[in-house]
Amino acid sequence: MGKQLWNKGFDPDQNIERFTVGDDRRLDLQLARYDVQGSMAHIRMLRSIGLLEQEELDQLLPALEDILAQVERGEFVIEAGVEDVHSQVELLLTQRLGDVGKKIHSGRSRNDQVLVDLKLFFRDQLKEIAAAVGDLFDRLLELSEKYRATLMPGYTHLQVAMPSSFGLWFGAYAESLSDDMFQLLAAYHVADQNPLGSAAGYGSSFPLDREMTTELLGFARPHYNVVAAQMSRGKTEKAVAVAIAAIASTLGHMAMDVCMWMCSNFGFVSFPDNLTTGSSIMPHKKNPDVFEIMRGKCNRLQALPNEIALLTANLPLGYNRDLQLMKDILFPASGQLIDCLEMATFMLGHIRVRENILDDPKYDYIFTVEDVNRLVLSGVPFRDAYRQVGEAVQRGDYTPCREVRHSHVGSIGNPANDRIRAKMQALLRELGHGE
Ligand code: ARG
């Protein structure tokens, strides 16, 4: 006889089982610790409302602790024929404790079980992502300070435009990451609500104490309405996907810049030889493959919100098995993002920046706005000053003054890195990180 929790005396066709279980036996391993934690909270609550005896709880809790230890040791497996992590935990309990193990499912369904597992899982994942973002942020701000006075060309339309600096460039990505943290925090708030007690999606006739499980699992509040709790499957994933995509977009953009600055025609930055890659035919090549792979991975991660949106579009209200497939989409994503973030932090630890780039006469026109502004400060109306410098450029006798004096907040001379740091730290603190 099959091991399905819902087995009612007939075995499903094996092909049906293979198709519907899909990759759950592997993916659900990531939910195992949370599934056990959810069960611990649930049975404590069942005891408090009289649905379990104290001695039953005293048997169940240590057995669940053992399973948790097994998970931590990496020894927990979902056996062939067992559908998912929820079934496996219940199976282990019944194998060990007999009928008592069968009691833990009162007042819940795998639908709210997987919901609670996912919320706990996403909370942790978001915190891990935040930590990796925080490390990259620190590295970027450190570089921004170090190269504060090192000028580089600023471009618009990919044409040389105005003076910029490596201080601004590194700092820009630091601040952009802090903006992404708003999205991460939003996803965290969505995930930080307890769906347990919504059962199959419509609640239970048992007097479940949902406030109690909320407190035991450290959620901000219950996801109150049981139907809304079930609807949050998909909604939470979308919020997480948006946060991951936002960070990936920032990082992918930075990776593109690095590829371009490494291009021999720019030559603005370089890396030690052992951090570059070579060509099988061209002996001179030192390629930026790390940043190309990073760019590609980050571009792929930006498909996540679309993938989730398409998977969940127009699903009928309530649980539908399609929802299971979100695990395939989202589970590998945060690991991939963290890998990219850590790689960026590592690589930037070795970046070399070229000094005196703007001394090259090909960047002379980058100073035209500085010269216009100097004229304005001496009393010439802006439009006249603009014309005067423009005509010099047209005649071919423009000579730049080469002096860059930017002092307003966020500019070359005053990048406000301390304030950017404070903004990031406040966001990280909300996620339980940092000083
Ligand atoms: N593996 C399932 C999922 O991820 C668990 C919930 C199953 N519920 C059900 N009604 N078949 O959605």
For every residue of 163-195, DSSP letters joined together read EEEHHHHHHHHHHHHHHHHHHHHHHHHHHSEE-
For residue 84, the CA-to-ligand 1 centroid distance in Å is: 8
358, two tokens: 């703007």
Q: Are 366 and 404 in contact (CB under 8 A)?
A: no
Q: Please state the pTM of the whole predicted model.
A: 0.94
d(CA 172, CA 250): 10
SS3 content of the chain, % helix, strand, coil (to 5): 65, 5, 30
Pocket test for ligand 1, best of 105, 110, 237 (most atoms within 8 A of CB): 110
The dihedral of CA 162, 167, 168, 173: what is its sign? positive
Give the pLDDT of residue 250: 98
Pairing, β 221-222 against β 193-194: parallel
Give the pLDDT of residue 1: 63
Buried-exposed string 139-173: b where 16+ CB fall within 10 A, e elsewhere: bbbebbeebbebbbbeeeeeebebbbbbbbbbbbb
The dihedral of CA 308, 31, 344, 425: what is its sign? positive
For residue 95, the CA-to-ligand 1 centroid distance in Å is: 22
For residue 64, the CA-to-ligand 1 centroid distance in Å is: 21
Summarize pLDDT for 125-152 with one digit per residue, the tens. Answer: 999 999 999 999 999 999 999 999 999 9
Average pLDDT, the chain: 94
pLDDT at 435 over 60: no
Pairing, β 352-353 against β 221-222: unpaired
- CA 191 remoteness from chain centre: 13
Nearest CA to ligand 1 atom 11: 321
Dihedral Cα 67, 70, 71, 75, nearest 10 deg:
-130
Which of 356-362's residues contact partners 24+ apart within 8 Å by CB, and which partners?
Answer: 357/151, 357/152, 357/153, 357/268, 358/151, 358/152, 358/153, 358/163, 358/402, 362/160
Give the pLDDT of residue 259: 97
Q: Are 406 and 414 in contact (CB under 8 A)?
A: yes
d(CA 227, CA 292): 44
| Identity at 406, one-letter amino acid code | H
The helices-and-strands tally (H runs, E runs) of the chain is: 16, 6
For residue 322, the CA-to-ligand 1 centroid distance in Å is: 9
The verdict on the CB of residue 199 being under 6 Å from ligand 1 is no
pLDDT at 9 over 90: no
State the DSSP code for 274: G
Per-residue pLDDT band at 365 (split at 50, 70, 90) = very high
Q: Rg of the chain over CA atoms, in angstroms?
A: 29
In the chain, pLDDT over 70 holds for what percent of residues? 99
Per-residue pLDDT band at 188 (split at 50, 70, 90) = very high
In ligand 1, the atom with minimum distance to the C-alpha of 233 is 12
Give the pLDDT of residue 300: 98
The verdict on the CB of residue 35 being under 6 Å from ligand 1 is no
d(CA 432, CA 130): 10
Summarize pLDDT for 313-325 with one digit per residue, the tens. Answer: 999 999 999 999 9
pLDDT at 2 over 80: no
Q: Are 385 and 296 in contact (CB under 8 A)?
A: no
Per-residue pLDDT band at 415 (split at 50, 70, 90) = very high
**Average pLDDT for residues 207-231, to the nearest whole number?**
98
344, two tokens: 């960026």
Weakest mean pLDDT among 78-82, 193-197, 199-203, 327-331: 78-82
pLDDT at 205 over 80: yes
